[in-house]
Amino acid sequence: MCTAVVRGQRAMLYPTCMAADKTKLSSTVTVARYRELEENNDRRALAKFARDRFHERYFHPIESSRAKDKHGFTILAVCCLVIESLEYFYQGKADTKGQSRKMFHDFFKRDTPLKVFAGGNDWFYKDIRCGILHQSETRGGWHILRSGPLLDERTKRINATKFIRELREAVDIYADLVQNDDGLWMLFKEKMKAVCDNCA
């Protein structure tokens, strides 16, 4: 965490703190700018920032790729990162080590089109998330395609193109809630405090 050394009337930041303040959290928002927006309680600008951060870092690189270069496994791997990160924001957690399963479970309970992936046995977490991120494969006979319905449980198929589209919408819903929901606004600030502290 950055601390200031006061000399006379001036607060001098250590070099690592000054570098952290310049760290980009999105293409247009640095740590220093984020803190300024938060101090001004500019919820509209920070809702846009939340949306931009996810879109620029996760969705745009996939969406801007040529169709022939896209792969369902890559799309789902990115989506798993987004789900876990987005749920951290929803819950205002600085760190969720050892809670990844719960993050997926809680996210899929939310009112989005991806709610169809909720289930008592956490199959998505075990067979998709852990399979792709740990072994670069799905488990349990699941197939990742880029066509067909979003989810076909009978044939065990997931349409990665539709999945990322719905996840993008889920991020937009979250950004709107940050702007309008007082409780979620407080949790957003809790999570962002940790994000900014980690930049130092």
pLDDT in tens, 60-108: 999 888 888 889 999 999 999 999 999 999 999 988 788 999 999 999 9
Helices (H) and strands (E) in the chain, counts: 10, 5
The first and second tokens of residue 80, run together, are: 């798993």
pLDDT tens-place string over residues 12-35? 444 446 678 999 999 999 999 999
Question: How many whole angstroms separate alpha carbon 74 and alpha carbon 41?
Answer: 37
- For residue 46, the Cα-to-chain-centroid distance in whole angstroms is 15
Q: For residue 74, give the 3-state DSSP assignment.
A: helix
pLDDT tens-place string over residues 116-130? 999 767 899 999 999
Domain boundaries defined on the chain: 44-197
pLDDT above 50 (res 7): no
pLDDT tens-place string over residues 149-192? 999 999 999 999 999 999 999 999 999 999 999 999 999 999 99
Are the C-beta atoms of 104 and 81 separated by less than 8 Å? no
